[in-house]
Amino acid sequence: MMDQLIKKFPAQLREAIEIGEKAVIHPHTKPIHKVIMAGMGGSGIGGAYVADLISDECSVPYIIQSSYKLPAYTDENTLVIVSSYSGNTEETIAAMEQSILAKAKVVCIASGGKIIDKALAHKLDHLNLPKGWPSPRACLGFSMVGQLFVLNKMGLISHNIIDQVRVAADLLSFEQEDIMQKAEKLAGLLVKKTPVIYTTDRNESVAIRWRQQINENAKVLCWHHVIPEMNHNELVGWKSKHEDLAVIFLRNRDDLKRNQIRIDITKQIISQLAPTVIEIYSKGQSLTEKTMYLTHLGDWVSWYLAQLNNVDASEINVIDFLKAELEKSSI
């Protein structure tokens, strides 16, 4: 099932654009000085992508809050975007309730659940996502594009990035078979290894996505870090050989030149200590296209790795157990 959901990602991006174009977002009565995106897991990751993509354009801070509580500076000059595919994520619901009390401008993105119920009760703007997607982590496009439209309709960003998403969807459709072939080969290099994902600070959302997808789909531990920060701490940890690690560098050919040099030197150091070092370059013209390309490749890598590990990519029994245990507590 998960492979079919991954294959639909380009189509999902296009559908998300259609939903966003039809959405009605009313202006706030106060100036917006900051944006907070409240969301967890497969819905929250959309905020990480938006933060990377809008950093050169959005003139107000864009803060990702993946927890029960919103910061004390949430006020009537804050736009809070509430994102939860199911509409029942308890941390996100708690954040939504706080944002209402703080008199912030609240816009919800969900397919239903308590969040849409509360949005209707409080007459809040909301984007209704299509129901029936069995895995929230497969709904990245809905969350990411929905947030972009909210920001656009609130006058915080132009339509350029959304237009680039449309082009990216076409790129992924065109490259789909090639991406799948590359992903299958890459997955073969990760069997019985712990993947370590490195990229630049501009691409951290992609590294997070790779980590999360490898965790959930392939049922494998994984970690990531970003350059240049990694050069100031984690690099020192590469003191001895690690036969059990597979290091992946995710790159754009137009990354900041100084960071490109840092990656080259870092790769040279690590190549002496880890037997598997992989370098992957994006495709596309805009940052949005390159980001979506690396994302789609990573999703496929996680699925192929799941097959090689002989595990069900869709199964998340341990998370279901955790939620069931939490339900027993009224605290």
The DSSP string of 2-58 is HHHHHHTHHHHHHHHHHHHHH---PPPSS---EEEEEE-HHHHHHHHHHHHHHTTT-
pLDDT at position 162: 97
30 is catalytic: no
> Taking 70 as the threshold, does the pLDDT of residue 326 lie above it?
yes
Task: Say yes or no: 175 and 211 in one domain.
Answer: yes
Task: Say yes or no: 146 and 103 in one domain.
Answer: yes
pLDDT at position 331: 64
For the stretch 64-86, pLDDT in tens is 999 999 999 999 999 999 999 99
Question: pLDDT-derived band of residue 204, with 50, 70 and 90 as boundaries?
Answer: very high
Task: Say yes or no: 103 and 206 in one domain.
Answer: no
The arithmetic mean of pLDDT across residues 32-48, rounded, is 94
Q: Which domain holds residue 192?
A: 168-308
232 is catalytic: yes
Say how far apart CA 25 and CA 322 lie, in whole Å.
Answer: 36
Task: Say yes or no: 50 and 143 in one domain.
Answer: yes
Query: What Å distances lie between residue 40 and 50, 73, 141, 205, 268, CA to CA?
Result: 14, 20, 15, 14, 36
26 is catalytic: no
The arithmetic mean of pLDDT across residues 28-48, rounded, is 94
> Taking 70 as the threshold, does the pLDDT of residue 93 lie above it?
yes
Strand runs labelled E in 193-282: 194-200, 223-227, 245-251, 276-281
Query: What Å distances lie between residue 91 and 27, 37, 40, 60, 130, CA to CA?
Result: 26, 12, 8, 24, 22
> Taking 90 as the threshold, does the pLDDT of residue 330 lie above it?
no
In a domain, 230, yes or no: yes
Task: Say yes or no: 173 and 154 in one domain.
Answer: no
Which of the following is catalytic: 91, 204, 216, 289? 216
Which of the following is catalytic: 69, 131, 241, 323? 323
pLDDT at position 135: 86
Task: Say yes or no: 89 and 38 in one domain.
Answer: yes
Predicted TM-score (pTM) of the model is 0.95
